[in-house]
Structure 1
């Protein structure tokens, strides 16, 4: 077994960025994707296509992990069976002889977390802890990108976030932190550790609306909702209850303060300050192009 790193979700927002960074450092990596034509073409990489959505195909995942010493495990898409899929992936890693998992979790992961999807992350973390694998958990906050996509067609950012603040982070910051953890010469200090990965400051959705207004030249505003109003305003999408619960509870977690605390992880592990919301807007104009209509 060499130092092969498996990167799951390698065609996604974090996985793709991570793969590029690992390649630049000369790492030997295998990229797990759903479609080969979506895999980044990088030196020193292999590509493995997962045969089914998520991590449900255990044989496929075991093959993807074979010969690897470390797996970077991105959480699967939101799904009522996501915890079971994560557990299957962890079990496949154990069966394949993987030694270490770096899991991209979520800030405030806990069995009673307000954000319902954060409960899935807690359950996954518990399964990893019980697996016998060496592990590091990177708990990222909501992404700046998500905040920009909260804005509706009517230029209103609405939700039951109250006056709470969110320490949102960029995908680039998370990828840089993951790179530092995966390639550290001395991995000992990271084993068994959990790191929150956040932006440099926490901001309210009203402040986010002001920053977006300046960037777009439009009048974007924040409209607080009650929980009942939030469910009613999202009923038009016809989404299943578990998904709507996730949408609404992401705002509610801001209101409770569960996403408010900033952490020095980016500066410590990436060697630079984390991106603020305004800086992210400047650096990633394509990610909020939908607001420049």
Structure 2
């Protein structure tokens, strides 16, 4: 565990999300000072000692791009961990407001969670937004570090749907063709973020872009096989067209559907198939494979199991 400086306050945005809550746990375990910004949509993190942070250190993120409110939230912070907004339109405005607030508050270091494949012409819609956010951050005097993450293991588990014609069969449907993806765990990203945020040597990560992937690139057939072995049932991969994907995820928001489809298209194009060593280098251990994640977090994919027969 990276030891924390007692004199450095870090602010974690999205602290009630899956990634932010894991990071909050790790910062607390290292003895770090932190202020948590929560969206109100998730569950507040459980810290290792069971004691809640002082009320002043848990704040609700402003619902709009309010730079003044964010400046107050960032006051006194050495570093800010910035997660992308799940909302669009307005996503870029929120990111820029947060970066402006970090400048005004005198923050020294911003760690931004970006996407593998981020670029001006990225296939994935979220990766294009991430690129624009990265460019805005690069244009400031802030020290920055980009954590470009692959698709999360958990996302793959929630792409499985029961086949209506067969109770024992489930289908992993995605418009990803024969592409491969080096998916990553939330634990890996949280461990890397902890190492970067709490490092006493700020220059070590200044201006660095890390690519955070799992230890192997799997096809969707191989992913379905791993999920099937864990769940004890038949799960098959069925490639989709874009139109089929939109029809299947009609209950999701337009942004969620677009992000999912375009990320799958990026996988089909080979954008997310490269495996890197950045997790191992920064976390000090090998990245979690999909199979290891399935063993460690059965509650995360419990919906894949067949209901008990009475």
User: Normalising TM by the smaller chain, what interval?
Assistant: over 0.9
How far the C-alpha of 1:44 sits from its partner, in A, is: 9.4
Aligned residues: 290
Aligned pair in 2 of structure 1 residues 230, 57: CA closer, same or farther (>3 Å)? same
Report if the CA contact (8 A) 1:23-1:44 is conserved.
Answer: no
Kindly indicate whether residue 251 of structure 2 is the aligned counterpart of residue 237 of structure 1.
Answer: yes
The question of whether the paired residues in 1 share the 8 Å contact of 2:174 and 2:245 is answered with yes
- The CA deviation string for residues 72-128 of structure 1, in whole angstroms up to 9 with x for no partner, is 111111322101110001001111111110111111111111111111111110110
Could you tell me how far 1:39 is from its partner in structure 2?
4.8
Question: Does structure 1 residue 150 correspond to structure 2 residue 159?
Answer: yes
Give the TM-score normalised by the residue count of structure 1.
0.93
The answer to whether the 8 A contact 2:11-2:80 is kept is yes
- Consecutive unaligned residues of structure 1, counting only runs of 5 or more, are none
Query: 1 CA distance for matches of 2:202 and 2:184?
Result: 24
Distance 2:268 2:209 in 1: 24
Conservation of the 8 A alpha-carbon contact between 2:171 and 2:238: yes
Aligned 1:41-190 pairs, distance under 5 A? 41=47, 45-46=53-54, 47-53=57-63, 56-154=65-163, 155-190=170-205
Give the conservation status (yes or no) of the 8 Å contact 2:38–2:61. no
* 1:205 alignment counterpart: 220
3-state SS of the aligned residue for 1:195? strand
The counterpart of 1:28, out of the listed 29, 33, 49, is: 33
C-alpha change, 1:127 and 1:275, in structure 2 (3 Å) is same
Question: Residue 268 of structure 1 is aligned with which of 246, 264, 281?
Answer: 281
Greater fraction helix: 1
Query: 1:146-201 CA distances to partner (integer Å, 9 max, x unpaired)?
Result: 00011113211112211110010000000001111112232212100100001000
Report the RMSD for the aligned CA atoms in angstroms.
Answer: 2.0
2: distance between equivalents of 1:105 and 1:288?
A: 25
> What is the deviation of 1:28?
1.2
Q: Secondary structure at the match of 2:139?
A: helix
Residues 281 and 271 (structure 1 numbering): CA distance in 2 closer, same or farther, change over 3 Å? Answer: same
Hey, what's the Cα distance between the residues in 1 that align with 2:303 and 2:248? 21
Is the 1:167–1:203 Cα contact (8 Å) retained in structure 2? Answer: yes
TM-score (norm 2): 0.88
Name the CA distance, whole Å, in 2 between partners of 1:186 and 1:60.
Answer: 30
Question: Would the aligned equivalents of 2:17 and 2:43 in 1 still touch at CA under 8 Å?
Answer: no
SS in 2 for 1:222: strand
Which residue of structure 1 lines up, in the alignment, with residue 9 of structure 2? 4
Q: How far did residue 274 of structure 1 move?
A: 0.5
